[in-house]
Amino acid sequence: MEGSHDFSTTSKHSADGIHMTSTELTAYTSISFIVVLWCLHKWNRRHFERVALKMTGLSSYPFIGSGLEFIGTPQQVMDSVFKLFNGFEPRKLWLTSYFFVTISKPEDLQIILNSSKALDKSKFYNFFKNTVGEGLFSAPVHKWRQHRRLIAPVFNANLLDQFFPVFNEKSRILIENLKKELGKTQPFDLSDYIMKTNLDIICQTAMGYNLDSQSNKESEFADALIKASELDSMRIYKPWLYPDIIFSIYRKIMGLQNVYNRLHKLPNQVIREMKEKHAQKKMQNNNNDIDANNGKRLKVFLDTLLDLNEAGANFSDEEIRDEVVTMMIGGSETSTITDCFCILMLAIHPEIQDKVYDEIFEVFGDGDQTITIEDTTKLVYLEQCIRETLRLYPTAPLLLRELQDNVKIHSDNQTLPKGTICIISPICTHHIPELYPNPWSYNPDNFDAENVNKRHKYSFIAFSGGPRGCLGYKHAIVSMKVLISTFLRNYSVHTDIKLSDIKLKLDLLMRSSNGYPVTIRPRDRRPTYKKK
């Protein structure tokens, strides 16, 4: 009995001991797992940590990094961008386990934008696939190389001349539509008119499609683009929305699941109708797409894509749509923002507006002759105004490049490790005082030939730079010169707001938070210098 008693006591104690050990083991295992995860996290970041120790940056927290700094409205996000780039030296940023470094100085920009090790636009561009797919703007390097080689000939500057009848026709419709604003003292938003003009221009010149949106009151494409851009860009700063399944649930909860369908409705319609037209022309072997003004066949971007497909390029329907959406956004929204900002700047600075009009009068007199490509080369000061507008308000304020290998930059002779995501901000580079004195003032003389020659080539990166720079920048500049000069030949523009009143917001592109409010008056078609 005594032995039996001893045995039962031992068993009870053993059982109790096992119970306690299981509880402790669970706690120890959980803590050990967290420690191991943290150690792996730090080990994987060790190359980045060595560089990060030498840099300043935004406040960072374990696992989420600096994501909390970018919570807020699109305008507040823009304020955080300026805070991040404060000082113009390379600065660090963590978003979850991703390591970012800001690149501002022209010498460093030239290295990054031209490096074969920095052609990748980073995983974060995947967040914009819902909007732009994998067109030239966002495509991974292997697809970008293939598509750019095939598409680049479409942007030959020698082909610009064929687009001028479209530029002129759509600009004349704009002038007619604006007549309803004459005599009104209440400001109207320029973008309500100019977005439709540029959408018509890009659909006609790039797709051969006469959209005629200027005859319609609403623009579903433009409205959906703004909503989709805000959705996609917001996701970058909210790590909890990185997983596609979480983002999909978020869209449904917020009632936003149809935004992308509305955005792609117009491009899909354009492609469908133009494919049918293209097939009919092939069957008839008849070039029906003739420019009535000069009798030349109008060879457009979508024609080229469809021809390439027939020649064996094997673009999928989705890839064609992605390139068309990219073209429509690049050719309408970006040009619209710049046109609106430029006209608003001329309204805020009437003395500069007078100088631009004097140049226009010297080229055209008081007649209504159609603008030619030769005429636009004479509008030198107007181009300075456009470029100064793009300096102050570049449409793409942030660019990302992910390093596929170590890259050494000029600043402190630092070597950025493979996997670093470089954040390039044209608006921050464009406001470095050493490059542009009084950087927040509007001064078109920043782009006279003498001042341009003094600066580093990469002091102005409104169209990015290097191999992945904008293919359509010449098309953009020329179309803007036609639209703005046509506008100013017919109307003087005025506003009560000041430069300091303009607030910026950031999504896929950068815009004015409060629109572009102006009033217009009929132009007194005499040179202003005769009145002085």
Q: Which residues are annotated as a binding site for heme?
A: 470
Q: Which of 455, 343, 334, 358 is nearest to 389 (CA)?
A: 343
C-beta neighbour count of 19 within 10 angstroms: 10
User: Residue 231 in contact with residue 251, Cβ under 8 Å?
Assistant: yes
Q: Which residues make Cβ contacts (< 8 Å) with residue 74, sequence separation at least 6?
A: 230, 233, 234, 505, 506, 507, 513
Residue 491 DSSP class: E
CB within 8 Å of 469: residues ≥ 6 apart = 113, 463
408 membership: H or E segment, kind and range: strand 407-408
Q: Which two tokens stand for residue 303?
A: 């024609």
Q: Which of 6, 48, 69, 113 is nearest to 461 (CA)?
A: 113
| 3-state percent helix, strand, coil for the chain, nearest multiple of 5 | 60, 10, 30
Per the rule left: phi > 0, alpha: psi between -120 and 50, beta: everything else, 314 is left
Closest CA to 107 of 458, 386, 489, 365: 458
Q: Do the Cβ atoms of 92 and 99 come closer than 8 Å?
A: yes
3 state DSSP class of 83: helix
- Output DSSP code: residue 304: H
- Which residue from 498, 495, 502, 494 is spatially nearest to 522, judged by alpha carbons? 494
Binding-site positions: 470
Q: How far is CA 383 from the centre of its chain?
A: 21
Q: Rounded to an integer, what distance in angstroms lies between the CA atom of residue 47 and that of residue 60? A: 17
Give the single-character DSSP code of 371: P
Evaluate whether 328 touches 199 at the Cβ level (below 8 Å). Answer: yes
What are the helix and strand counts (H, E) for the chain? Answer: 20, 11
Structural contact between residues 200 and 170, judged by C-beta atoms closer than 8 angstroms: yes
Beta-carbon contacts of 385 under 8 Å, excluding residues fewer than 6 positions away, are 342, 345, 346, 352, 356, 444
